[in-house]
Chain A
Amino acid sequence: MSVQVWTYLLVGITFALYIGIAIWSRAGSTKEFYVAGGGVSPLANGMATAADWMSAASFISMAGIIAFAGYDGSVYLMGWTGGYVLLALLLAPYLRKFGKFTVPDFIGDRYYSNTARMVAVFCALIVSFTYVAGQMRGVGVVFSRFLQVDINTGVIIGMVIVLFYAVLGGMKGITYTQVAQYCVLIFAFMVPAIFISFQMTGNPIPQLGMGSTLNDGSGTFLMDRLNGLSTELGFAEYTDGTKSVIDVFAITLALMVGTAGLPHVIVRFFTVKRVKDARKSAGLALLLIAILYTTAPAVSVFAKMNLIDTVSNEKYSQMPVWFKNWEETGLLTFDDKNKDGIIQYVADKDKNELIVDNDIMVLANPEIANLPAWVIALVAAGGLAAALSTAAGLLLVISASVSHDLIKKVFKPNISEKGELWAARGAATVAVVIAGYFGIHPPGFVAAVVALAFGLAAASFFPAIVLGIFYKKMNKEGAIGGMVVGISLMLFYMAKFKLGWLGEIPDKSEWWFGISPEGFGTVAMIVNFMVALVINRFTPEPPQEVQEIVENIRIPSGAGEAVDH
């Protein structure tokens, strides 16, 4: 069977599976819609969290980015896993004990203020919308490359599928489809990696393969060879990188803290039964995520090595079929500057003739390594699972923010259970349509902003939640001030140094403290903490009953089920 037939088959089967699960797990109440009824087992929640978390960026782009960035790519590996330690130790158990439906719920109740709630809703909506637009785009790209449909048609198919199970099933539907999606995506990522690791090093475990010797009888370590080749071609050593230490430090911390502050991840921990289940499922989630995250850097090393071996100083006319295929998509371009018919792939921009998009490293890897057709099709199904699962989780946060935090808590407190459920479904539908619109007409800044969503989450939520739990006397004035200043500062820095909304983008040398916009969330977070603590000193302490709430969430027993209110 051809790759195309395999792809239609696998994508068709997985989609049918997701829809089947959605019908089986329809949500009947708001509690089921928001937190899946609050009775999800730790393992199921761990799998769902892992799928929720691993987006198109983790599955499709990350290994490619690392392949070209080498050591600098470590920021993503450490940043997007280390955040779970913060989440498990500092947030998840207490938020579960608190036992409401959303993150703005916590902020609003803990800081006894609807203003705080509104600020949190605003932050949640900004973070989630920027992130979801990127996912819809990812769906479109996979469709267009593997199924030869137009990108826009791909986005619309993706919208319909997500709409179907998010609107129908709510959190309950999403949770169980995410469990299935985790299985699909991890299988799709590991199979090619294991094949290639065995091919190149004789060791089938990619994590060990990347540190082994090459299979060609030379006895040279794979990474030594890669370092040698990189320097020969004028690049930095693969294991060294080019970013400054302070920037690597700041980006890693911003990604960690941002991960812990992302509302669609936090909300998953409201769905388990007890506090101890929340802790355990955070551990399971990270374990399941780590399988992909420790394999990705190995894939990067293999792919980079294969790429250099195949193209560097070889005749263009003798390139394999995959090279021509990807040239057609425009994601790989060759410009024979010195007209010698040979591909020069070097660091020097004036002499370099080959440009390779980050995204094709994972998608093209099975083709580069000559793996069977079904493996290539599997990668397509995996990429779709990753993008759809994350999109669904984000849509739920958006819909809950509108129907629960805005309509129920602020504008129309006496709305009926049924009315709220319909409002939630309506909000989810509108959110899907907006996300789809951005997927089809991506504003230029979406790609840039997705990376910065973490900075925004770090600058706004994280300090407010941590202080809310660990500092009993933290009051509303401090928390609101910190959030507003933190997110404004982050938005300002993005506008100035990344998006160029405030005139021309200044040179890197003008970065504050030498920290890039990607790492600036760390600075904005520290400012948030400081502003909050200073304001707190000069304003009245929180009422006694709020201090009692804080004492209560510190004790794990008696969490009960997520309380309806």
Chain B
Amino acid sequence: MSDKQKKATAYWKENVRYLFILLSIWFAVSFGAGILFKDALNTIKIGGFKLGFWFAQQGSIYVFVILIFVYVRLMNKLDKKYGYNE
């Protein structure tokens, strides 16, 4: 394998690792907190919000937005590290 290929493979591996972590969070807030564990979380109340309901109708959406911007930052850094930035 040439150096160029090695670099590409290493970059891709780190990228996939980021995806795995970010998508786990994506799954946890929506399908986890908002659906599967909603009833348990609903016993907790913050202000007028039951927590499970809040995750389903508000919280998960805020987290989605944050996740994409975190991804953008991580990838911009990764691009720089491997010299793929432009």
Contact = CB atoms under 8 A, between A and B. Distances in A.
Contacts of B68: 84-85, 88-89, 279, 282-283, 286
Interface of A: 66, 71, 73-74, 77-78, 81-82, 84-86, 88-90, 93, 207, 210-213, 221-224, 239, 245, 248-249, 252-253, 274, 276, 279-280, 282-283, 286-287, 290, 293-294, 297, 470, 551, 554-558
B72 interface: yes
Given A84-B64, A286-B65, 9 more contacts: A77-B60, A78-B61, A276-B79, A279-B72, A282-B68, A554-B11, A554-B12, A556-B85, A557-B85
Contact of A249 (B31, B58, B75): B31
Given A211-B48, A249-B31, A252-B31, A89 B62 contact: no
Interface string B20-55: 001100100011001110100010001111100110
Given A77-B56, A211-B54, A223-B49, A283 B65 contact: yes
B48 A74 contact: no
Contacts of A249: 31, 35-36
Which of the listed residues A222, A239, A554 has the most CB atoms from chain B within 10 Å of its own CB?
A: A239
B64 A85 contact: yes
A223 B49 CA distance: 7
Interface of B: 8, 11-12, 15-16, 19, 22-23, 26, 30-31, 34-36, 38, 42, 46-50, 53-54, 56-58, 60-62, 64-65, 67-69, 71-72, 75-76, 79, 83-86
Given A71-B53, A90-B19, A211-B48, A294 B34 contact: no
A253 B46 CA distance: 27
B56 A253 contact: no
Nearest to A93: B75
Given A78-B60, A290-B61, A213 B48 contact: yes
A277 B24 CA distance: 24
B62 A82 contact: no
B26 A85 contact: yes
Contact of B34 (A78, A222, A287, A551): A78
A104 B34 CA distance: 35
B42 A239 contact: yes
Which of the listed residues A85, A210, A293 has the most CB atoms from chain B within 10 Å of its own CB?
A: A85
Contacts of A223: 48-50, 53
A138 B45 CA distance: 38
B48 A221 contact: yes
A556 B79 contact: yes
Given A248-B35, A556-B84, A290 B30 contact: no
A207 B65 CA distance: 15
23 contacts: A66-B57, A71-B56, A74-B56, A77-B61, A78-B30, A81-B61, A81-B64, A85-B26, A86-B26, A211-B46, A211-B47, A221-B47, A223-B53, A239-B42, A245-B35, A276-B72, A276-B75, A283-B72, A290-B62, A290-B65, A297-B58, A555-B11, A556-B84
Contacts of B58: 207, 294, 297
B48 A88 contact: no
Contacts of A276: 72, 75-76, 79, 85-86
A71 B67 CA distance: 24
A79 to B, nearest CB: 9
A426 B13 CA distance: 46
A210 B48 contact: yes
A211 B58 CA distance: 11
A522 to B, nearest CB: 11
B71 to A, nearest CB: 6
Contact of B31 (A253, A282, A293, A554): A253
Contacts of A84: 64, 68
A101 B26 CA distance: 30
A551 B2 CA distance: 14
B10 to A, nearest CB: 11
B35 A294 contact: no
Contacts of A551: 8
B26 to A, nearest CB: 5
Nearest to A214: B48
Contact of B23 (A89, A210, A287, A555): A89
Contacts of A93: 75
